[in-house]
A and B are shown apart, each in its own frame.
Chain A
Amino acid sequence: MKSTAALLTLTTAALLATGTAAPADTLDHVGSATGVDERTAGLVLEVNELSRDSSGTYATLLWSVRNEGTERITINPKDTSLDFDRQSFAGVTLRDEESRTRFHPAMNSESACLCTRDTVGTIDTRLDPGATLTYWSLYSVPADLETVTVEVPDFGDVTDVPLT
């Protein structure tokens, strides 16, 4: 949450800086995994946060991909089991090890995923070497669920992710 004053301060600071140094935005992460496919080799997945909203209805997953390789890579964690419409980020799921349940992101009645939307010209899915991109998806999980495994296609599982 940023106040207007803080925004002004930031902006002023950006104006005063010489050159176009983009701030290296490193979010915290609670777990990570590497790419397991030849397409994703060289990529590192980090789960930044899995948090409930204050009503407890939804859990929001924030995750990032960093390119530690030497080539530009495009990611495409699409869903292959359900009928999501055109949503190449719908493949990111949560797995409850105890109940052996897999939670897919929310789907609306137009079959769209409630997750990062891959509309041309909105988000970026191409990672240059050294770049990091952050994405999100929305779930509904039982109130008593405490930890999950985060599954992103073409990456190893990220285990023991706590719900905060």
Chain B
Amino acid sequence: MDMEHTPALPTSPRARLRAAASAGALLLLLTGCGLIGNTPEEGADDTGDGGDTANSTEGTAAQEAVELPVGSTTTSTAWGSDLEVEIQALERVGSDALRLTVGVGNHTTDDIRHFKNLRDNDLGGYDLSGLTLLDVTTDRQYLPLTVGGDCVCEEFPDRRIRAGVVESTTVLFPAPPEGVETMAVLTPITAPFHGVPLTDADEEIPDPGADAPVILDLTHPTDTVVADYQRHETDGEVTYELAADVLFETDSAELGDAAAQSLERVAAEIDISSADRVSIDGHTDDTGDDSVNVPLSRERAEAVETALNDLVDRSGITYDVDGHGSADPVTDNDTDEGRAQNRRVTVTFAK
């Protein structure tokens, strides 16, 4: 794999020379002390906790390799697509390590000084410390190798990206298991690059003496969405069960934007009803204890009362408001779905 990446045409002969020199210097650094040593196995020290919601990756197809180099479409920065992140190489370099080479292209006409947009605060600075790799075969995220807590990565030359130039630098990662052929590259400012092929470097690097690798398990949390509300009618009495998750944010008694639709529906029916009393009752699930749940459910019922009072046009209506905590579930609290259903505010009135 050709390590040298020719930078895009710089603006002046002097700059062109500088670019050539730094490319040459990069090559020297890589080959200069090329000891092909037999390094002890670091071992992939798994510091992650497995999550119960982790998706199994069995049965998925192998990831297709993309052709390198591959560039970003745009970035989440004010420069947008004027800044380009280019994945140039992902190589096994011995010592159980991978070397990722990334170029950053500045399509503007001003140098970008103090380029920190790809950094991780804890691991580095004007470098690629914020990049991570994903192994789709094991659903794990690889953080850069560190020595004494600092990433094994080179700063961008002069900490800047010169106008009209692609500046390249490298970062080391722990190597994935043998047989892994592609990985995804994640950066702080671009969409992920999927299917980046692993290749073997022409040379091996000496053991950097890295700290234990940090390879994190991923979880993929899901939850159940309940219907905004359910309406029941018995013996001339109407009950709306409004899902608390739709009305309120977690642990809050402040109505959110999603509440309006349900509340307007209830208010509209109260308006056409014969009722002069409306009961509003707040309920929670059984997590936490009464000292929190009872007041919270009451405050939520009160919030609904205030809203309905505003929305209902008909006058002369009295509201009875109460909070019951978890005392009155409509279904069991053993499942996420059940608990979501129990978290509700009910509004009852004569038809």
Q: Is B202 on the interface with A (CB-CB < 8 A)?
A: no
Nearest B-chain residue to A1, judged by Cβ:
B70
Are A139 and B220 within 8 A (Cβ)? yes
Nearest CB on A from B59, distance (A): 8
Q: Is A29 on the interface with B (CB-CB < 8 A)?
A: no
Are A58 and B184 within 8 A (Cβ)? yes
* Interface flags, A37-52, vs B, CB<8A=1, else 0: 1000000000000000
* A14-39 interface (Cβ within 8 A of B): 14-15, 20, 22-23, 25, 27, 36-37
Cα A122 to Cα B131 in complex, Å, equals 12
Are A136 and B221 within 8 A (Cβ)? no
* B74-119 interface (Cβ within 8 A of A): 74-82, 84, 86, 105, 107-110, 116-119
Are B224 and A102 within 8 A (Cβ)? yes
* Interface flags, A70-106, vs B, CB<8A=1, else 0: 0000000000111000000000000100001111101
Q: Is B234 on the interface with A (CB-CB < 8 A)?
A: no
CB neighbours (8 Å) of A14 from chain B are: 107-109, 164
Q: Is B136 on the interface with A (CB-CB < 8 A)?
A: yes
* Interface flags, A103-135, vs B, CB<8A=1, else 0: 110111110001011011111100000011111
CB neighbours (8 Å) of A101 from chain B are: 222-225
Interface residues on B, range: 35 or more
Cα A12 to Cα B165 in complex, Å, equals 10
Nearest B-chain residue to A40, judged by Cβ:
B257
Q: A122-B119, A123-B77 are in contact. Are A11 and B60 (CB under 8 A)?
A: no
* Interface flags, B212-249, vs A, CB<8A=1, else 0: 00001111111111110000000000000000000001
Q: Is B29 on the interface with A (CB-CB < 8 A)?
A: no
Are A108 and B217 within 8 A (Cβ)? yes
CB neighbours (8 Å) of B136 from chain A are: 53, 55, 57-58
CB neighbours (8 Å) of A133 from chain B are: 76-78, 80
Q: Is B331 on the interface with A (CB-CB < 8 A)?
A: no
Q: Is A62 on the interface with B (CB-CB < 8 A)?
A: yes
Are A81 and B223 within 8 A (Cβ)? yes
Q: A2-B71, A110-B216, A122-B130 are in contact. Are A53 and B184 (CB under 8 A)?
A: yes
Q: Is B73 on the interface with A (CB-CB < 8 A)?
A: yes
Are B221 and A82 within 8 A (Cβ)? yes
Nearest A-chain residue to B191, judged by Cβ:
A136
Nearest CB on B from A27, distance (A): 7
Q: Is A150 on the interface with B (CB-CB < 8 A)?
A: no
Nearest CB on B from A111, distance (A): 10
Are B249 and A80 within 8 A (Cβ)? yes
Q: Is B159 on the interface with A (CB-CB < 8 A)?
A: no
CB neighbours (8 Å) of A25 from chain B are: 73-74, 80-81
Q: Is A140 on the interface with B (CB-CB < 8 A)?
A: yes
Q: A54-B64, A108-B218, A139-B220 are in contact. Are A122 and B139 (CB under 8 A)?
A: no
Cα A12 to Cα B110 in complex, Å, equals 14
Are A8 and B9 within 8 A (Cβ)? yes
A→B interface (CB under 8 Å): 1-4, 7-8, 10-12, 14-15, 20, 22-23, 25, 27, 36-37, 53-58, 60, 62, 80-82, 95, 100-104, 106-110, 114, 116-117, 119-124, 131-136, 138-140, 143, 154
Contacts A/B (CB < 8 Å), 27 sampled: A2-B86, A4-B6, A11-B164, A12-B9, A15-B109, A20-B108, A20-B109, A25-B74, A25-B80, A25-B81, A53-B136, A54-B195, A55-B64, A57-B63, A58-B192, A81-B223, A101-B222, A101-B224, A107-B218, A108-B216, A109-B216, A109-B219, A116-B188, A117-B188, A122-B116, A123-B75, A124-B76
Q: A107-B220, A124-B78, A136-B192 provided; 8 other pairs, C-beta below 8 A? A: A2-B86, A15-B9, A20-B108, A81-B250, A102-B222, A106-B220, A116-B189, A117-B130
